Amino acid sequence: MRYDDGQLTALAAAVDHGTLEAAARALHVTPSAISQRLSALETSCGRVLLERTKPVRVTPSGAIVLRLARQLRQLSDDVTAELGVGADGASTVVVSLAVNSDSLATWVLPALAPLARGDGDATPICLDLHREDEQRTAELLVAGTVMAAVTARARPVAGCTSTPLGSLRYRPAAAPAFARRWFQAGPTPQALATAPMITFDDDLQHEYLRRRGPDGPPPPAHVVPASADFMAAIEMGFGWGMLPDVQSEKLRARGDLVVIDHEYTLDVALYWQQWKRAPAALDRVAAALLTAARAQLLAMPT
């Protein structure tokens, strides 16, 4: 079936702005016009696409159509940029990505910096970055919130491609003084039952305890909500935590951090998923991230 551009635009605007009234203001039409376009789109699809709550909520069927709406809008913006339409002869290109915290704090931003700066006289790309745990970044892709994601999910989201990036290798680490106090005899079950740990938006610490620690309640835990601050808290002696090698190896090399269990590593496989109908700007982002991943991440077993 063919989709009406005005109807798709109304759907995206309603989701982006939260209400039909706000969508109408953004599109300079009446709320009735937005409602009529949405109803016509739902009739054409034979599905309910939007729950009329405040804010509106997209249904599973609506998420599929919303992804199409945003793909078409991005392709249109890409053509506009290539044609050089605009008051200054250029048009801003925006690419939305979902990235896990540790990748964002280590290898992703340096890879994207040349694109954001517009190095080599290329058109700069504005990046709309969404931070989420690698187990959940694909959910933002499914919902149509982003056009690509660094994710632990290998199976492609509908309408997307999936490419292996590599693995982040994690080790349990602590400040030297903390390790001497709590792990004099090593990471024994008894020590792990009492030594404070640090967590944030992943489950890596609990996974380590399930494999190496005692049965029973977890140890005392600090919650630190950002990757860089998480590592800083470990360095300051708040507790122990799982850190990726790409983030901690320099601190370990100069003695500011130590590995508390040399027999344990955890590899988290990462994949790049993006829309199949990829605008040129997204392909540039993908190429930059794939190059950086090959240089910084561990190769996955074939």
**CA-wise closest residue to 102 among 58, 139, 140, 151:** 151
Return the pLDDT at 231.
94
Q: Among all chains, which residue has been given the structure tokens 């940029």? A: 81
Q: Among all chains, which residue has been given the structure tokens 């250029």? A: 90
Query: Of residues 226 and 264, which shows the higher confidence score?
Result: 264
For residue 78, name the pLDDT band (cuts at 50, 70, 90).
low
Return the pLDDT at 161.
94
Return the pLDDT at 153.
95
Please give the Cα distance from 193 to 181 (Å, whole number).
14
Return the pLDDT at 2.
82
Q: How many CB atoms lie within 10 A of CB 218?
A: 14
What mean pLDDT is predicted for residues 142-149? 86
Query: What residue type is assigned to position 75 of the chain?
Result: L
What residues pair up with 160 in beta bridges, in sequence order? 275
**CA-wise closest residue to 261 among 205, 194, 300:** 205
Return the pLDDT at 269.
97
94-103, 139-148, 163-172, 255-264: which range is least confident on average?
Answer: 139-148
For residue 47, name the pLDDT band (cuts at 50, 70, 90).
confident
What mean pLDDT is predicted for residues 219-227? 92
Return the pLDDT at 82.
60
Return the pLDDT at 272.
98
For the stretch 126-129, contacts whose Cβ atoms lie closer than 8 Å and that sit 24 or more positions apart, written own/partner, are 126/92, 126/93, 126/94, 126/95, 127/94, 127/95, 127/96, 127/97, 127/285, 128/94, 128/95, 128/96, 128/97, 129/96, 129/97, 129/98, 129/99, 129/104
pLDDT in tens, 176-215: 999 999 999 999 999 999 999 999 876 899 999 999 878 8
Return the pLDDT at 74.
73
Mean pLDDT of all residues belonging to the chain: 89
pLDDT at 108 over 90: yes
Return the pLDDT at 86.
47
- Fold classification of 168-267 (topology level): D-Maltodextrin-Binding Protein; domain 2 (3.40.190)
Which are the contacts of 19, defined by CB distance < 8 A and separation ≥ 6?
54, 55, 56
pLDDT at 87 over 50: no
What residue spans define the domains of the chain?
168-267
Q: What are phi and psi of 279, to 5 degrees?
A: -70, 160
Return the pLDDT at 295.
95
Query: Of residues 302 and 177, which shows the higher confidence score?
Result: 177
For residue 46, name the pLDDT band (cuts at 50, 70, 90).
confident
List, in sequence order, the alpha helices (H) in the chain: 5-17, 20-27, 31-45, 60-83, 101-103, 109-117, 137-142, 176-182, 189-194, 204-212, 227-235, 245-253, 280-296
Please give the Cα distance from 297 to 95 (Å, whole number).
23
Return the pLDDT at 83.
59
